[in-house]
Structure 1
């Protein structure tokens, strides 16, 4: 009898440990896709750690390829699979490449265009553009956070997704930004959309 109880307890522990989005006490957390370039500065790493803790407190389970999930297939295939299992996406567009001296529309010869200065700006990773676009195409709620100094082009350009794309400054502590009124408003709005997707997923199609 004691042996049977021990085996049952072990099976229960294993069933919790392998199930995605389950905490050690068996509580479910909503899986969301967290997209960000690999941090190259400690303050970027700290921002992600604080953001993940914040999301966990709101009963979300952040998932990031090659951090929480691993897949040996092509990256786009792995990303698509993870997104199909998620209910929303947050992208953090960190600084990645510094442009010490750069010019937009360099040597343009079109009268309606002008050169513009990009000295001292930053580019983020291409994945910070690709992953939000993929999520948008399958109807996931998307929120993009852009580190100050990163060029607001492509999907980072205001109005592209019709959503607010806040800029954050890592010269301050991560918890300071996550305590601002702007962040509280954005996370409430995004969370509401995510909960809506979660509630509707799996429902049969309706013609009215």
Structure 2
């Protein structure tokens, strides 16, 4: 008889939404860790991309790069770069090739690094009185390897950097479309709010996701179709 009463009590407890154990003692309900779960879900669906940049930055450049990484992560893409997030035991060029082959897109940002002043004494160079900026040498190598591999590429450069140098020079199709950040007259927020950036970034994201789904789609088709 007592066992029947306990069963009836268990049923009443289930109906009211409370929990009880075998000793009829109420159990404490813990809040669902939705924030942690959502973070895990977001990380699981982030598509890896190669962020080609340099490590030696001034404060305004660092602010720009931090905002760029935030933009990439908000698009649920995972930025990877050498040697901050990735490190392999091979040589640098082999490591770049490995990172390129395991990514689904390339975003390269060419910051000012070295101010070059060409004079008449420079051998093999035309005389010039206008100084110009050069970026990292790897900003020439990494996008070139990504282009050869066929990755979607988005190029961003600081104004007057490598203007006539390598792949950052104009007229080299299809790498002749650049997003230029005028660091002397344009704030970081103004750049990332510009229509030029938003349009180019949205198009690049679409190319990355399209390439990701094409690469990961299984060869076996699960749907039957009467059409060839």
Q: TM-score, normalised by structure 2?
A: 0.71
Compare CA radii of gyration and give the structure with the larger one.
2
- In structure 2, the partner of 1:127 is 138
- In structure 1, the partner of 2:115 is 98
**Aligned to 1:143, which of 146, 150, 154?**
154
5+ residue gaps, structure 2: 1-37, 220-228
How much has 1:83 moved relative to structure 2?
A: 1.3
Tell me, in whole angstroms, the C-alpha distance in 2 between the residues paired with 1:41 and 1:104: 31
The secondary structure found in structure 2 opposite 1:117 is coil
Tell me, in whole angstroms, the C-alpha distance in 2 between the residues paired with 1:44 and 1:36: 11
Q: Does 1:87 find its partner at 2:99?
A: no
Contact in 2 for aligned 1:37/1:96 (Cα 8 Å): no
1:16-55 equivalences in 2 (<5 Å): 24-27=39-42, 28-55=45-72
Contact in 2 for aligned 1:31/1:87 (Cα 8 Å): yes
Q: Does 1:183 find its partner at 2:197?
A: yes
How much has 1:202 moved relative to structure 2?
A: 3.9
* 1:158–1:104 Cα change, 3 Å: farther
Tell me, in whole angstroms, the C-alpha distance in 2 between the residues paired with 1:67 and 1:135: 19
**Aligned CA-pair RMSD:** 2.3
Q: TM-score, normalised by structure 1?
A: 0.77
Number of equivalences = 177
Tell me, in whole angstroms, the C-alpha distance in 1 between the residues paired with 2:88 and 2:212: 24
Q: Does 1:159 find its partner at 2:171?
A: yes
Tell me, in whole angstroms, the C-alpha distance in 2 between the residues paired with 1:77 and 1:150: 27
